[in-house]
Amino acid sequence: MIFGKIEYLNLLPFHIFMKRYIQDSRQSLIMNYYKGVPSNINQKFISRKVDAAFISSVGAKRNNYVDLGIIAKKEVLSVLVIPSDKNLNDTESATSNVLARVLGVDGEVLIGDKALRYYLESKPHIDLAHEWNQQNNLPFVFALLCYHKDKKLYKKIQKNFLKSKVKIPQYILKEASQRTHISQKNILKYLEYISYDLDYKAKKGLQLFYKKAFNIT
């Protein structure tokens, strides 16, 4: 299995879970990773160079996915629009660029760990997930766990991950902090804003986004 791995902090708990799941699984799972940013992983998935990945919501619409995603109930802290004389997309993004247009928010889109660092510096910004919630009173779904085949496997991964309480080992937290230049305390605080359960309200938010997004693209 080749899994598209996005190394943003928002997926740190999932990657820890998967490492343990593979080790503990009675199935002889062999997991290889293709690492990249969301826009790159989207393309690798479409071309079937990866078997499964968290795919940006705009790219997931026509693909198979389980009820597992990257979801913000309100704020997200790592998907921002910052003041700019021009409307600028983030080349690492797919969904967030569209979301800014849907919300009518002008400026430069900034996503991922670099956006979180920007937020932590208390610079002027608009949190797009917060803006979405303010306008629609619904969560925002940034990505979904998509797959090409082996539905039963990914449903099982979904079920086990959602019922697990992933504890991040200190050494992994330290490595993540060094890699991202974000303190361990702020990483743990940030992860409190991330949900992974594609529940009823998240699905409503996703369908509303699709309705709005595909009317402007």
pLDDT over threshold 50, residue 83: yes
pLDDT over threshold 80, residue 26: no
Go through the domains of the chain in sequence order and give each one's CATH number: 2-213 (3.40.190.10)
pLDDT tens for 131-151 read 999 999 999 999 999 999 999
| Stronger pLDDT, 71 or 4, i.e. the higher one | 71
Of the candidates 102, 83, 84, 94, which has an alpha carbon nearest to the alpha carbon of residue 37?
94
In angstroms, the Cα distances linking 191 to 11, 52, 152, 203 are: 9, 23, 28, 21
pLDDT over threshold 70, residue 30: no
pLDDT category of residue 28 using cuts at 50, 70 and 90: very low
Q: What is the mean pLDDT of residues 60-65?
A: 93
Q: What is the mean pLDDT of residues 48-66?
A: 93
Check if the beta carbon of residue 10 is closer than 8 Å to that of residue 191.
yes
pLDDT category of residue 215 using cuts at 50, 70 and 90: confident
Helix (H) or strand (E) holding 195: strand 194-197
Please calculate the CA angle 217-193-152 and round it to the nearest 5 degrees.
70
pLDDT over threshold 70, residue 27: no
Two tokens, residue 89 = 């997309």
Two tokens, residue 48 = 């079937």
pLDDT tens for 164-191 read 989 999 999 999 999 999 999 999 999 9
pLDDT over threshold 70, residue 21: yes
pLDDT category of residue 25 using cuts at 50, 70 and 90: low
Least confident of 42-46, 66-70, 105-109: 42-46
Which backbone phi and psi does 3 adopt, to 5 degrees? -110, 130
Amino acid 29: pLDDT: 56
SS3 content of the chain, % helix, strand, coil (to 5): 45, 20, 30
